[in-house]
Copies of this chain bind each other. A is one copy, B any other.
Amino acid sequence: MSARTSPENARDIPEATVARLPVYLRALVTLSEQGTATCSSEELAVAAGVNSAKLRKDLSYLGSYGTRGVGYDVDYLRYQIAREIGVTQDWPVVIVGIGNLGQALANYSGFRSRGFRVVALLDADPARHDQVVAGIEVRPFDHLERIVHDHAVAIGVIATPAVAAQDVADRMVACGITSILNFAPTVLTVPAEVDVRKVDLSIELQILAYHEQRKGAVTA
């Protein structure tokens, strides 16, 4: 039933490219705010911190939005990338687990400006209910189904302790959420049609530590 596999529509963009498009978008927004109307692949590549050949190849998956001999129209390209990613309209998001991290996330203004709208903050602890964080009331976790249904929420954020994360994910999946961003340091098991991305600080620090250790091992 899906048009995902239809021949005309199925410009399959490589995962590595998808992961860089938001970076290009951010760079274009900055350029636009600085009043730059046009930029070359080289300029944009520097702003995004990538190789210009890679940038051009990435953009070529979206179509031919540049002009040879000239470069790219900043606002036009910005719109095209935003459209491709799907952030020309806002996506409703629920955050579950309003502790240290959940509160920081709720207060983060970057969500709103980048295509996402926090529609609810949920927590299992009654002591947190009716508390207001970033202008949004914290509500019982049991309200999940109703909220997801009422706001057509597709994306959920998990900021609970690791032990609770799988349960929260199961509940999210059961009520129709199909994309999850997980901050808890645990592997989530979900059906194949559900996308999960994880953010794990400790892993990032450990990767740095590995390289740091190697740096230390120098020949006298």
Contact = CB atoms under 8 A, between A and B. Distances in A.
Given A26-B185, A84-B210, A217 B111 contact: no
A128 interface: no
A86 B213 contact: yes
Contact of A155 (B6, B105, B208): B208
A164 interface: no
A105 B201 contact: yes
A19 B210 CA distance: 10
A179 B100 contact: no
Contact of A214 (B4, B105, B199, B217): B4
Contact of A3 (B5, B114, B217): B217
B49 A215 contact: no
Contacts of A216: 1, 154
Given A114-B202, A207-B22, A210-B18, A218 B86 contact: no
